[in-house]
Each structure stands twice: as C-alpha cells, then as structure tokens.
Amino acid sequence: MSARRARAGESEPIAPSPDLALAREDPRSPGVRTGAWLTLLAVASLATKLPFLRYPFLNVDEAVHLVGSWELLRGGRLYVDFADNKPPLVHVFYAVAQLLFGDGILAVRLLAALALTPLTALGASAFFGYGRRGQAAALAFIVASAALLASDAHAVHCEHVLLLPLAWSMVVLRSPRSMRQAGPLFSAGVLLGLATLAKQPAAACLLVPMAGVLQAARPARPGGRVLEYASRVRRALPLWGALLVGFALPLLATAALFQREGTLGSAVFWIWRVNLGHIANPMPLRTCSFVS
C-alpha cells in the first residue's frame, strides 16, 4: 500500500488473477467459451487416438462388450441371452455408439474419442475453475489417456465409461461449502451410482465424500475429542443420507428395469456374485504367506 493511500485511509486495489483477467478480455459468453474449449479437447482426443482407431480389437474385453451390445440392440436381455460380469452401462455405451456411427468397434472408439474422453477432460478443467490450471489438467488427461499400452488406453473399457460421472461428481463437490449442503451431495451420489453401473469398484469412491462431509462438519460446541467427534458424526448423518439416497437412485432404477424384464436374479448373480468370485484370491492365506 502506498504512503498516500495509507494516510487517506484507502485500501490498495487488488490485482485480478490472470485467469479472471483472461476471462474478462474474452468477449464471448461462458457457454460459447466452454463449447469452444470442448471442441478443442475433442480434436486433441481424436488426434491422440488416431493410430489405433481402426485396429480390429485391442483387448478381448472389447469383443465381449461388443457382443453384449449386439444382443441388446436386437432386443435381447442382458445376463440371460448374454452373460458377462460387467454392469450394464458399458454395454449401453457400446450400443449407443453403434446407433450413431454404424456397426463395429470403430463406432465405439469414435464416440469415446469425440465425447467420452473430452467430457471427462472438461470435468478436470471445471474442477480447477476453467482457468489455466484447468486447461493444463484437461490437456494432461487427454495425453495420459493415450500414453499407456494400447490394450489399456486405446481400447474402450468400463473404466473409460465410469471416469466421466466420477470426474463430474468431484466437480460438484469441489468447494468446502458443498460438503455441508444436501443438494450437491445428492447430485454427487447420483453420479457415483452411474459410475458404479459402469464398473463395481466405483462404489468405493463413496468413502471420499463421506470423509469430506465428516471433516467439514463443525461441532455444535467445543468439547473433548470424543464429544467433538460425536458432534461431527451427528451433523454428518443427514448429509451422508443425501449422498447415499442419490447413490441408490440409479441402482434401484436399473434394478426395477431388470425386474420388469424378469432378469433381476440373473443380473445380481452375474454382476455381483460371479464378479466377487472373479476377483477373489484363488490361493489360501497360508500359501500367500509362504510365497511372500
């Protein structure tokens, strides 16, 4: 603060951040700017995916998901006419891609490159407020999404589908204030439920906002450590409830659809029971201890 301003009792003007100044210089509306940025991300995503775009199959999972989508498109029932231990959203994504771009794996990779990856990268950008840090995060995600082995990065897996709602659930909860409001927590729960419909381990991500809610919950009055923790838990309970209700909503809606088709029992068997057996350790604990 200058001496003249100090004597006059005036405060020194705060310089705007570079990101804010850049936004003010751009005459376009926020929607137009976001659309232009998303278009740029789609072009960058397509450029990084081009080398393997037309390759027949990069991973056996792609063939499985493709067959499941064909069964779905011809009116078949998932987990009865076709069986797999993956949740239904990945098969739905494959089916939608082929409705838009024609039959085959090329259609799936095109939709992933033009929509799935760019929208996930946009979520990374939104998490940082669309500023320069957000731009760097989005571009870093685009590069990282193509930098691994082709069978992992360029094949369209369940993980690619679950990352989209998972990223935007973090955007919804990016501010500390959102951890104390039922609305954002409910919305984040819905998004995490959709991510779980892409792959089951996404359900474990519920622990992150639950811990954030507990951390943000302020005790009603200061006291000992036990009393303070109990007060935090008491304040967190209704917020946890909003998160869990949102999480359960897409799962229950999907279960209702399976129930209407008479396939709920088969869906639960393949998605949960078979999958738990699939990921279980085949070796007894003694054998593992001996090997280690």
Cα 144-176-205 angle, rounded to 5 deg: 50
Calculate mean pLDDT across residues 1-29. Answer: 48
Q: Does 283 score more than 70 pLDDT?
A: no
Position 22 scores a pLDDT of 46
Q: What are 73-123's pLDDT values in tens digits?
A: 999 999 999 888 899 999 999 999 999 999 999 999 999 999 999 999 999
Residue 82 in 3-state DSSP?
strand
Taking Cα atoms as reference points, which of 201, 116, 195, 204 lies closest to residue 162? Answer: 195
In whole angstroms, give the CA distance from residue 175 to residue 185.
Answer: 11
Taking Cα atoms as reference points, which of 158, 140, 151, 155 lies closest to residue 53? Answer: 155
Calculate mean pLDDT across residues 221-226. Answer: 64
The pLDDT-based confidence of 275 (bands split at 50, 70, 90) is confident
Position 14 scores a pLDDT of 42
Average pLDDT along the chain: 84
For the ranges 65-74, 212-221, 280-289, the one whose mean pLDDT is highest? 65-74
Position 111 scores a pLDDT of 96
Position 290 scores a pLDDT of 44
The pLDDT-based confidence of 18 (bands split at 50, 70, 90) is very low
In whole angstroms, give the CA distance from residue 271 to residue 265.
Answer: 10
Position 27 scores a pLDDT of 53
Calculate mean pLDDT across residues 45-63. Answer: 90
Position 249 scores a pLDDT of 97
Q: Does 197 score more than 50 pLDDT?
A: yes
In whole angstroms, give the CA distance from residue 229 to residue 208.
Answer: 18
Q: Does 213 score more than 60 pLDDT?
A: yes
Calculate mean pLDDT across residues 138-160. Answer: 90
Position 12 scores a pLDDT of 47
Between residues 135 and 286, the one the model is more confident about: 135
Position 44 scores a pLDDT of 94
Lowest mean pLDDT among 105-114, 186-195, 216-225: 216-225
Q: What is the 3-state secondary structure (H, E, C) of 10-56?
A: CCCCCCCCHHHHHHHHCCCCHHHHHHHHHHHHHHHHHHHHHHHCCCC
Calculate mean pLDDT across residues 159-181. Answer: 93
Q: Does 23 score more than 50 pLDDT?
A: no
Q: Does 260 score more than 60 pLDDT?
A: yes
Phi-psi region of 33 (alpha: psi -120 to 50; beta: other; left: phi over 0): alpha
Position 47 scores a pLDDT of 94
Residue type (1 letter), 277: G
Please list, residue by residue across 131-163, b when 16 or more beta carbons sit within 10 angstroms of its beta carbon and e when fewer do: beebbebbbebbeebbeeeeeebbbbbbebbbb
Position 33 scores a pLDDT of 80
In whole angstroms, give the CA distance from residue 196 to residue 206.
Answer: 10
In whole angstroms, give the CA distance from residue 189 to residue 124.
Answer: 18
